[in-house]
Amino acid sequence: MTTAQATLEAPARGTRPGGKAPYLHQIDLFRLITFACVILIHVVGATNFAQDVGANAVETPLHFTREAFFALTGFVLVFQNRGRELRAGDFWRRRLPLVATPYLAWTMFFWAYSLVTGGQQPGSLEASMRLLLTDLVTGGAWYHLYFLLVTMQVYLLFPFLMKLLRATAGKHGWLLLGSGLVQVGVVAFMTYQPLGVSYQTITHLYATLLPYQFYTLFGAVIAMHFETVHAWVGRHRLLLGGALVAVLAGTEWYYLRTVHSGTFPQVASDPFQPYLIPWYLTVIAAIYAFTTWWAARRREGGRGARVVSWAANRSFSIFLVHPLALALLGPVIPHVAERFGAPWLSAVIYVATIALTIVIVEVLRRLPGSRALTGRPRLRLAKAVA
């Protein structure tokens, strides 16, 4: 019996040396699927016009990635710490640098990249420094860095979240209900901007934990009840697959209805549209169901297991680097568009972005500053395939 099968059939007993939580191979695949969708949505956005109805129809369901990541973050943190005493200082010293260091490194890189390429032209050294400070505070140096900023907020609040979960044992359903109501209110506020509230205020909210608090708590509560939820998912994979198809159809129908009512496509597909909440929950559950099915059939040392392990080891690095790869490919997009046209343009650039990202990551992983640039320790040449 493989580790994955043992985890599937009796997850409560699958502990590792030192009292650590069992290793869940399905989480590796869950992370990879989500990262692949992150790259895809960025490529679709970069290779199509904002008013393209079809492109936004593709992007609409792909917006689940940010919610899935924060659900995954809450799940992993709680699953790893639910059975042991958590010291806030030790947790912060161990966890925060893993994200804060790449955040600082890539914020400074993209700040400089924007100045060099003309993306930002503040006009003076003082203005440049103010811009860098603003980027550090808001996560605005590049479009994906907000995720790291919000992740650090999750880390800062996590010790208090664990205390809350333990204090409300037996009432986690009510806790989720309250959080869900707050979530609906927050995204409604962001979507239907009240009079007197500036657009700038709304846009800054996406770099705070507030629009993602429900999904983080959702993942955390699932981790507290992992054995029960895991067993339920295993018995209801077909139900979740059917729900995925039905909710996806309903989501696309509502998006198209909204567009046909006169809403600009990019607004109709905004990731904070309240109508997307059921889709986010459904797709998160369905992906987990699929990854547990895969994990139960995973063969240790098999090709699939090795590929997933290799990619999971580089997933965070790929997330950090892929916007740079896509930006470097920017000048060739018009030429590819002339030759292929939609939707093949997006497909070609997607493959090219992944390939270039992997090349950059493999180079960075072998440099002395690997931990800052990729969030992972440096690879020695002799261990390149590890």
Can you give the pLDDT at residue 382?
52
Are the beta carbons of 74 and 289 closer than 8 angstroms?
no
Query: What CA–CA distance (Å, rounded) separates 312 from 27?
Result: 9
Can you give the pLDDT at residue 385?
46
| Mean pLDDT, range 243-261, rounded to an integer | 97
Can you give the pLDDT at residue 341?
83
Query: How do residues 256-288 score in pLDDT, each as one tens digit?
Result: 999 999 999 999 999 999 999 999 999 999 999
Can you give the pLDDT at residue 191?
92
Query: How do residues 309-346 score in pLDDT, each as one tens digit?
Result: 999 999 999 999 999 999 999 999 999 999 988 889 99
Distances from the Cα of 294 to the Cαs of 138, 287, 313, 377, in angstroms? 38, 11, 18, 28
Q: Count of CB atoms within 10 A of residue 323's CB?
A: 21
Please list, in sequence order, all residues whose beta carbon lies within 8 angstroms of the beta carbon of residue 295, skipping any fewer than 6 positions away: 4, 7, 8, 24, 25, 26, 29
| Mean pLDDT, range 104-120, rounded to an integer | 88
Distances from the Cα of 165 to the Cαs of 78, 114, 158, 159, 309, in angstroms? 9, 43, 10, 10, 31
- Per the structure block, which two tokens stand in for 352? 């090219």
Measured CA angle at 322 (ends 316, 324), to 5 deg = 125
| Mean pLDDT, range 85-101, rounded to an integer | 95
- Per the structure block, which two tokens stand in for 304? 């699939």
Give the pLDDT band (50/70/90) at residue 22. confident
| Mean pLDDT, range 75-94, rounded to an integer | 94
Mean pLDDT of the chain: 90
Q: What type of residue is 314? A: R
Q: Residue 377: is the preceding peptide bond cis (ω within 30°)?
A: no
Can you give the pLDDT at residue 342?
81
Instruction: Report whether pLDDT(154) > 50.
Output: yes
Can you give the pLDDT at residue 9?
37
Give the pLDDT band (50/70/90) at residue 35. very high
User: End-to-end distance of the chain based on CA atoms, in angstroms?
Assistant: 24
Give the pLDDT band (50/70/90) at residue 105. very high
Residue in the block written with tokens 């973050």: 73
pLDDT above 90 coverage of the chain, percent:
81
Among 2-6, 107-111, 160-164, the range scoring the smallest mean pLDDT is: 2-6
Alpha helical stretches, state H, the chain: 3-9, 25-46, 53-62, 64-81, 88-117, 125-138, 146-167, 172-191, 199-205, 213-224, 226-235, 237-260, 265-268, 277-297, 303-329, 333-339, 344-364, 370-374
Can you give the pLDDT at residue 199?
80
Instruction: Report whether pLDDT(12) > 80.
Output: no
Can you give the pLDDT at residue 20?
74
Can you give the pLDDT at residue 122?
63
CB neighbour class for 4 (10 Å; exposed up to 12, middle 13-18, buried from 19): buried
Can you give the pLDDT at residue 117?
84
| Mean pLDDT, range 225-237, rounded to an integer | 96
